[in-house]
Chains A and B, each alone.
Chain A
Amino acid sequence: MTARDAHSDDMERLLRYLGATDPLELDFGTADRILDGTMHGDDAPRSYSQVARALETLRSMPTEAELANERRAVARIAEVIAADTVRYNSERARAKRRVRAVRRRRRVTALALAAAISGVWLVVGLAAANALPRGAQTVASNVLDALGLSVPNPTEAPASDVVVPSSVEPSTPDTPAFDIGNAVGASNGNVPPGQVNGTESNGGGNGKAHANQDRVPPGQVNGTAPNKGGNGNSASTSDNPNSHGGNPNAGGGNPHAGG
């Protein structure tokens, strides 16, 4: 090994050293501590001790110059805060008033709505009960009819469920009793004579007479008619199972039986 080689080796080692070690190397934790002020210049890595001391000066006590205008600045700030307080209070009061007005309006609206709904229901109820004055009832009926509700209408003819026969043949001695009875039964319309005759235990004639007592105007039904064959029918009806089948003859009764 020559002197030249030795020198070369030293240089290589030096260059390797310089490449491997960074004199300004600093880990993040130490950097944080320097910046936080928890690491003083004396404790910092050598390369950063002056940096740490320099940064400490930034945290030094305030100078008089920095606090020179305190009184004026504080007065100005207090003035702005006071003005802001006044503005804030007035805005708050205005907002409160606005909220109150909105609430009042809502309350009035709700009450009016409730009153209107109640009124409508009242009118409908009275109309359904036909308790309104005639004109109002007519209007209500028309309106509610349009809505699909049926209420009495005083202008229309009263519906009668009693159909009075235009003429009832006066009974004659030759006329069988059951004809009269059937005629009355037919005048009621709804019930076939045979079925009525067969109902319960009443005899055909009597049964019809009872059923028709309320509806048939007096005088049109011959009061004697049921008696003509009624009793006989009664017996025959109860005995004859066909009487339930709606045989008018059976229901009508045999005049001879009554005789």
Chain B
Amino acid sequence: MVDAFAETLSAAQVGDEAAIACLWRQLQPALLRYLRAREPYAAEDVASETWLRAARNLRSFSGNEIEFRAWMFTLARHALIDWQRRGMRRPMSGAPFDGDCEFAAADDPAAETFEAFETEHVLAMIRRLPKTQAEVILLRVIAGLDTERVGEIVGKQPATVRVIQHRALRNLAEMLGVEVLSEQGVTR
């Protein structure tokens, strides 16, 4: 039995636009969030570059959905590294995500605006983490990859990834001002 993803992938590999659109809708938001957390002013451009690279190599890809996600985020990471290496600062097609009405949904604009604002706030917080910690958190949360695949992407052992993500969570907790002792009225 061939699963839905395999059918979609096969169709996309021969250039079927509906299948490509399906893949794009599934991955583009996550890619943008990942890239915005790393390089807010280049996220759109790097995401486009990522999709072009994927299109050029889509024929040679084989794997399941998780592997496809890992592959796409690997491409995004490489595209981002290339972009950072070139030091290009091209004008973006849009300003960094700022919670403007540009992305407001029709049914509940206020809620979506707030959500987007929240998302951008969290991304900004993650940007303040050390680079490796930020990358691990983004790949684990946004890309939805496990520690093994994240380790493959960032070039570290899964155990190391777990240590890094643990430290990252701790740092995030500190950033969010979660102070148990202060809530309990105890100050150090």
A77 sits at the interface (CB 8 A): yes
A57 to B12, CA, bound (A): 30
Task: Please report which residues of chain B, range 139-188, place their CB below 8 angstroms from some CB of chain A when the two chains form the complex.
Answer: 140-142, 144, 146-147, 162, 165-166, 169-170, 172-174, 176, 178-181, 186, 188
Which of A48-56, A100-108, A141-149, A245-253 interfaces with chain B? A48-56
**In the assembled complex, how far is the CB of residue A16 from the closest CB belonging to chain B, in whole angstroms?**
13
Let me know if A60 and B13 touch, CB within 8 A.
no
A112 sits at the interface (CB 8 A): no
Let me know if B14 and A67 touch, CB within 8 A.
no
The secondary-structure label for the interface of chain A is helix
Let me know if B24 and A85 touch, CB within 8 A.
no
Let me know if A68 and B21 touch, CB within 8 A.
no
A64 to B32, CA, bound (A): 12
Closest to B116 in A: A63
With a CB–CB cut-off of 8 A, which chain B residues contact A46? 178, 180
Which of A31-39, A155-163, A170-178 interfaces with chain B? A31-39
Q: Contacts A31-B162, A50-B178, A80-B56 given; indicate if A70 touches B112 (C-beta within 8 A).
A: no
A194 to B51, CA, bound (A): 109
Let me know if A64 and B176 touch, CB within 8 A.
no
With a CB–CB cut-off of 8 A, which chain B residues contact A6? none
A37 to B142, CA, bound (A): 10
B6 sits at the interface (CB 8 A): no
Give the number of chain B interface residues (Cβ < 8 Å): 61
Let me know if A78 and B17 touch, CB within 8 A.
yes
Interface size class of A (residues with CB under 8 A): 35 or more
A49 to B188, CA, bound (A): 22
Q: Can you report 19 A-B residue pairs in the complex whose CB atoms are below 8 A from each other?
A: A23-B179, A23-B181, A32-B165, A48-B173, A51-B176, A51-B178, A54-B121, A54-B122, A58-B138, A59-B142, A59-B144, A66-B28, A70-B28, A73-B51, A74-B20, A74-B24, A76-B51, A78-B20, A82-B15
With a CB–CB cut-off of 8 A, which chain B residues contact A32? 147, 162, 165
Selected contact of A58 from candidates B16, B24, B54, B122, CB within 8 Å: B122
Q: Which 6 A-B pairs have the closest CB atoms?
A: A65-B103, A62-B29, A23-B180, A80-B55, A63-B103, A66-B29
Given contacts A54-B176, A65-B94, 20 further A-B contacts (CB under 8 A): A18-B181, A24-B178, A26-B169, A32-B162, A35-B140, A46-B180, A48-B173, A51-B172, A54-B121, A54-B122, A58-B142, A59-B144, A62-B28, A62-B29, A68-B103, A74-B20, A78-B16, A81-B12, A84-B59, A85-B14
A75 to B51, CA, bound (A): 11
**In the assembled complex, how far is the CB of residue B141 from the closest CB belonging to chain A, in whole angstroms?**
5
A66 to B43, CA, bound (A): 11
Let me know if A64 and B20 touch, CB within 8 A.
no
B65 sits at the interface (CB 8 A): no
Let me know if A47 and B119 touch, CB within 8 A.
no
A73 to B27, CA, bound (A): 13
Task: Please report which residues of chain B, range 49-79, place their CB below 8 angstroms from some CB of chain A when the two chains form the complex.
Answer: 51-52, 54-56, 58-59
Let me know if A55 and B122 touch, CB within 8 A.
yes
A18 to B187, CA, bound (A): 10
A121 sits at the interface (CB 8 A): no
A54 to B177, CA, bound (A): 13
Q: Contacts A47-B180, A74-B20, A77-B24 given; indicate if A67 touches B29 (C-beta within 8 A).
A: yes
Let me know if B180 and A31 touch, CB within 8 A.
no
Closest to B120 in A: A57
Selected contact of B169 from candidates A48, A65, A88, CB within 8 Å: A48
B10 sits at the interface (CB 8 A): no
A78 to B25, CA, bound (A): 14
